[in-house]
């Protein structure tokens, strides 16, 4: 199965702070979860993608959060700069890849203003998490692409097995 995967989860240093969110090397994940992650990667066709970088933001960059999570969306960085267009362009590019490559499932970074599929930060830069989707996760979901995060690897594995 073809999977769109957040580049940071694969160990690529694309996060706002210039680091990554590697599942394989994260001490907070058990060995069995790391092994499941590697099995998923090895058994499927992976398309690495970072919507924020694809949308034109640099590495490192000032952290950004969604301050208005309904249309018209507003995403600002911690300095107050409006970076909404970068997030929208990145989301559209992610959708384009999924449509071009017939990708039906994505594994995206939890809580990210781009990739969070269940929760995101609340826009106050206080590390407070609220229910809501990042802009890329929302656009993909609205277009029939099933989105999981790194804390849902068992669910992703079941989904893949059921839909092969």
Taking only the tens place, the pLDDT of each residue in 48-103 is 999 999 999 999 999 999 999 999 999 999 999 999 999 999 999 999 999 999 99
Question: What SS3 string covers 116-148?
Answer: CCCEEECCCCCCCEEECCCHHHHHHHHCCCEEE
- Residue 85: what pLDDT? 98
CB atoms within 10 A of CB 24: 14
Cα gap 45→48, rounded to integer Å: 10
SS3 33: helix
Torsion angle, alpha carbons of 90, 95, 100, 105, to 10 = 120
**Whether pLDDT at 118 is above 90:** yes
**Banded pLDDT at 144 (limits 50, 70, 90):** very high
Query: Do 87 and 75 touch, CB atoms closer than 8 A?
Result: yes
**Whether pLDDT at 164 is above 90:** no
Taking only the tens place, the pLDDT of each residue in 15-53 is 999 999 999 999 999 999 999 999 999 999 999 999 999
Please identify which residue in the block is written with the tokens 């656009």. Answer: 139
- From 38, 4, 10, 36, select the one nearest 22 (Cα to Cα): 10
User: Would the pTM count as exceeding 0.95?
Assistant: yes
**Whether pLDDT at 139 is above 90:** yes
Cα gap 74→67, rounded to integer Å: 6
Structure tokens given for 33: 């979860």
**Banded pLDDT at 113 (limits 50, 70, 90):** very high
Please identify which residue in the block is written with the tokens 């609340």. Answer: 122
- Residue 87: what pLDDT? 98
Cis before 40? omega within 30: no
């Amino acid at each position: 199965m073809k999977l769109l995967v957040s580049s940071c989860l694969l160990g690529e240093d694309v996060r706002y702070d210039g680091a990554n969110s590697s599942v394989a090397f994260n001490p907070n994940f058990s060995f069995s979860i790391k092994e499941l992650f590697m099995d998923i990667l090895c058994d499927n066709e992976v398309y690495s993608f970072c919507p924020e970088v694809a949308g034109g933001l640099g590495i490192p960059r000032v952290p950004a959060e969604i301050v208005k999570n309904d249309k018209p969306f507003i995403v600002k960085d911690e300095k107050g700069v409006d970076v909404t267009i970068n997030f929208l362009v990145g989301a559209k590019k992610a959708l384009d890849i999924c449509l071009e490559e017939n990708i039906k499932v994505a594994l995206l970074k939890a809580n990210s203003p781009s990739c969070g599929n269940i929760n995101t930060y609340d826009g106050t830069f206080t590390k407070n998490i609220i229910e809501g989707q990042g802009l890329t996760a929302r656009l993909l979901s609205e277009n029939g692409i099933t989105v999981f995060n790194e804390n849902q690897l068992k669910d992703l594995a079941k989904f893949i097995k059921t839909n092969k």
